[in-house]
């Protein structure tokens, strides 16, 4: 076992993050030190993936009922992540009760019933639900234990000669337990492994789990931490020394990647098509990466051999499915003919779905849950990159990260031996585990806009910002955009803070420029896989009489309001047609489109053109299931950019009042005597896209407090 003298050693393949000053602040509180250690381990994704692995500590505490000393194990609770673990995310159990469950254990066929019994071992009533890994920690005697899923260790654990390599690499100090699904039986096997080693006079510092991960331990939080780092460092160093030694990595390169700009453009253009295929059961959100590790794998000679094998580690498999879909599509494929590309790709998706159904039918049991979505999660496009699709952006991103982990594992295993994946039945038993199904059933109901991507023009402020916030609150991924860089950066930071980085993308956008618009839609497709909702909100306002109006002002109004609506809608329609499951376009027009007011010829006529363009688009796009509707605001004064640039002064002049009197004037002229806010417009937009008006197109919704002159006739 390592000692504190090693704390200053240099690591190459792992990050040493221990802060002795911080640890001293926590001295005497073993639970706090265990959480500190856990957070450090989780901060380095080379040590374990998000949500993967588990950590624990055993302490002596006073029984709240008897006052007697009791041995208590604190462990990461079910569904948590060690990188962000807090005390509230832990489970605390009486250790003797947990171990006594062995007396009622009926065998591996009854694993699921043991999980329910963990609740009878709870010490701290505020505990998180104990995880399936609880007995794995409980049956080992060590005070501090780390169970991680480092790629370097799993590469050895998934190697055909993994047991032999482990024995030789660590000179017998790391034990070996062959593949077994996590649960009570695996906990007993870990104990047996330790006991067998002790009989042979060996003192283990850890145990390798075949095709799964690594267990390490220590008498203190620091000793466990440094022991874990040392073992993983040694695994990684061993792999590095063997890359390319036996044969070229992944058998050598077969094809070349497109240049970076070209492959990102190709990815943006093909992503909506892939998303359409992957959304045959429900709308999915996409993620794209051209990580160098991915490109090395997908461009290699061994891709065709290794990709069908799938992953080995349960955490990887649960996120990425049985295997990826590899596209047999030339990186330089012409994507301009959407129907031709779809026809070329359709057989591959049909074959994948058929394969998945065969896998399900061959492995299912009488009590197995119904078959889930048969579409691929991971799609590999040689020369271009990797796409992943899931119910939301976070899940899609995590699937991508997990498959990168799997690539690392395959690379390492092939360098030192031969990569082996889980047998299909074992994989199925994990994917369709009744406990996993119960976890899925407990998931909250999706929000109205979950799985949808919205581009709202001019969304860095005013009405557009309110619409984007409403959509994000309802579960949509939003693409924030503006022509002003500073305003865009501020809004983007605000949205990321409120909704998280996964739900938000941002891009500069000039709606009057086709190239700028195409780039913005490409960015949306790269970020989320496509676009479902376009809200044409960007606009300006100029209030002048005909005599005062200049031709330049007239052209500017029509460029931004009418041409901008046309350009953005056209680009959005192309993406929606690639996806093939319809979409929504909502145009923010105005009461001025239907009411003739004073000193308003340019703005009013441009808004009228927007309104009629909406009707024309609705008439044309119905066959594509693309709904096109209008929201007509009026007098949105609060936090609206329309009131800058002299518009407020112009309207006040037209009505013979001061600017300060405008809010009361506008409210008084409405039937409801209400001031209209940006949130009111956002709610109207949501009404069109949120599912309740799914059979409505070509319609207009006035949000003006009731202006009789604006009634539709």
> How do the residues of the chain divide into helix, strand and coil, expressed in percent and rounded to 5?
50, 15, 35
H runs (alpha helix) in 580-676: 601-621, 647-655, 662-668
What SS3 class is residue 74? strand
Strand, coil or helix: 708: helix
465: how many CB neighbours lie within 10 A of its CB? 25
β-bridge pairing 453-456 and 69-76: unpaired
CA atoms within 13 A on the CB side of 578: 27
> How many whole angstroms from its chain centre is CA 450?
12
**Do 322 and 424 contact (CB within 8 A), yes or no?**
yes
Is residue 703 within 8 Å of 680, Cβ to Cβ?
yes
Q: Is 238 a catalytic residue?
A: no
Six-digit token string for 446: 């999706």
β-bridge mates for residue 54, sequence order: 147
Please count the other Cβ atoms lying within 10 Å of the Cβ belonging to residue 88: 10
User: How far apart are the C-alpha atoms of 702 and 597, rounded to whole Å?
Assistant: 17
- Would you give the DSSP letter of residue 561? I
Q: How far apart are CA 16 and CA 12, in angstroms?
A: 9
- Backbone phi, then psi, for 702, in 5-degree steps? -80, 130
- Assign residue 423 a region (left: φ > 0; alpha: ψ between -120 and 50; beta: otherwise): beta
What is the pairing mode between strands 453-456 and 477-482? parallel
Looking up tokens 């002049």 gives: 653
Angle between helices 462-473 and 485-499 (to 10 degrees): 20
**Phi, psi for 159 (deg, rounded to 5):** -80, 145
For residue 642, give every residue at least 6 positions away whose Cβ sits within 8 Å of its Cβ, in sequence order, or none. 462, 463, 539, 540, 541, 636
Exposure b/e, 690-707, CB count within 10 A at least 16 = b:
beebeeebbbbbbbbbeb
CB contact at 8 A, 171 and 246: no
Adjacency order of strands within the sheet including 477-482: 504-508, 477-482, 453-456, 533-536, 583-588, 626-633, 700-703
Q: What is the DSSP string of 275-316?
A: HHHHTSSS--EEEEE--HHHHHHHTBTTHHHHGGG---SHHH
Catalytic residue among 381, 603, 665, 712: 603
Residue 419, SS3 per DSSP: strand
Q: Beta strands 144-148 and 54-62: pairing type?
A: antiparallel
Spatial contact of 64 and 103, defined as CB atoms under 8 Å apart? no
Under DSSP, the state recorded for 84 is: G
CA distances (Å), origin 41, targets 16, 18, 77, 137, 213: 9, 10, 16, 17, 14
**What is the token pair recorded at 270?**
């093909």
- Residues tagged active-site: 603
């Amino acid at each position: 076992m390592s000692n504190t003298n090693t704390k200053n050693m240099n690591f190459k393949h792992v990050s040493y993050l221990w802060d002795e000053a911080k640890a001293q602040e926590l001295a005497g509180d073993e639970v706090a030190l265990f959480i500190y250690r856990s957070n450090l381990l989780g901060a380095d994704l080379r040590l374990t993936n998000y949500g993967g692995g588990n950590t624990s500590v055993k302490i002596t505490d006073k029984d709240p009922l008897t006052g007697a000393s009791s041995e208590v194990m604190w462990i990461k609770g079910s569904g948590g992540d060690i990188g962000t673990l807090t005390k509230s995310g832990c489970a605390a159990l009486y250790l003797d009760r947990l171990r006594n469950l062995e007396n009622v254990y009926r065998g591996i066929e009854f694993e699921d019933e043991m999980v329910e019994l963990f609740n009878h071992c709870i010490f701290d009533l505020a505990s998180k639900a104990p995880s399936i890994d609880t007995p794995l920690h409980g049956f080992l005697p060590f005070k501090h234990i780390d169970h991680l899923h480092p790629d370097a260790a799993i590469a050895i654990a998934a190697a055909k000669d993994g047991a032999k390599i482990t024995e030789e690499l660590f000179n017998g100090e790391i034990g070996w337990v062959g593949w077994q699904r996590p649960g009570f039986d695996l906990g007993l096997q870990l104990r047996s492994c330790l006991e067998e080693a002790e009989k042979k006079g060996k003192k283990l510092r850890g145990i390798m789990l075949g095709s799964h991960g690594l267990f390490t331990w220590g008498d203190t939080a620091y000793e466990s931490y440094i022991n874990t780092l040392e073992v993983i460092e040694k695994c990684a160093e061993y792999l590095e020394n063997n890359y390319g030694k036996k044969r070229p990595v992944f058998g050598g390169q077969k094809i070349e990647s497109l240049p970076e700009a070209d492959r990102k453009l190709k990815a943006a253009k093909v992503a909506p098509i892939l998303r359409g295929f992957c959304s045959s059961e429900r709308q999915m959100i996409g993620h794209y990466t051209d990580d160098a590790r991915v490109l090395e794998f997908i461009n290699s000679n061994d891709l065709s051999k290794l990709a069908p094998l799938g992953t080995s580690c349960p955490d990887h498999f649960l996120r990425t499915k049985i295997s990826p879909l590899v596209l047999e599509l030339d990186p330089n494929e012409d994507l301009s003919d959407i129907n031709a590309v779809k026809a070329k790709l359709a057989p591959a998706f049909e074959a994948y779905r058929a394969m998945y159904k065969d896998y399900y039918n061959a492995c299912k049991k009488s009590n197995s849950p119904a078959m889930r979505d048969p579409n691929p999660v991971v799609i590999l496009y040689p020369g271009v990159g990797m796409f992943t699709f899931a119910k939301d952006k976070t899940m899609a991103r995590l699937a991508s990260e997990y498959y990168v982990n799997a690539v690392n594992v395959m690379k390492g295993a092939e360098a030192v031996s031969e990569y082996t994946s889980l047998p299909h039945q074992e994989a199925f038993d994990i994917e369709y585990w009744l406990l996993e199904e119960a976890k899925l059933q407990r998931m909250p109901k999706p929000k109205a806009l979950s799985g949808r991507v919205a581009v709202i023009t001019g969304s860095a402020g005013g009405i557009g910002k309110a619409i984007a916030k409403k959509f994000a609150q309802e579960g949509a991924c939003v693409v924030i955009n503006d022509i002003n860089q500073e305003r865009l950066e501020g809004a983007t930071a605000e949205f990321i803070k409120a909704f998280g980085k996964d739900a938000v993308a941002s891009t500069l956008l000039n709606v009057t420029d086709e190239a700028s618009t195409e780039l913005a839609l490409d960015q949306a497709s790269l970020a989320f896989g496509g676009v479902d909702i376009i809200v044409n909100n960007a606009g300006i306002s100029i209030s002048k009489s005909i005599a005062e109006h200049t031709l330049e002002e007239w052209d500017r109004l029509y460029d931004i309001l009418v041409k901008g609506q046309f350009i953005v809608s056209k680009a959005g329609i192309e993406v929606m047609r690639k996806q093939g499951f319809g979409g929504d376009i909502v145009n923010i027009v105005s009461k001025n489109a239907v009411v003739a007011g004073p000193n308003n010829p340019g703005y009013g006529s441009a808004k009228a053109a927007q309104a009629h363009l909406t009707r024309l688009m609705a008439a044309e796009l119905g066959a594509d299931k693309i709904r096109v509707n209008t929201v007509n605001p009026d007098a949105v004064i609060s936090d609206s950019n329309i009131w800058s640039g002299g518009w407020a002064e112009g309207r006040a002049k037209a009505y013979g009042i001061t600017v300060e009197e405008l809010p009361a004037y506008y409210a008084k002229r409405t039937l409801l005597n209400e001031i209209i806010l940006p949130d009111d417009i956002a709610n109207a937009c949501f009404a069109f896209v949120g599912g309740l008006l799914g059979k409505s197109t070509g319609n207009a919704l006035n949000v003006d407090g009731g202006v009789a002159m604006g009634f539709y006739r």
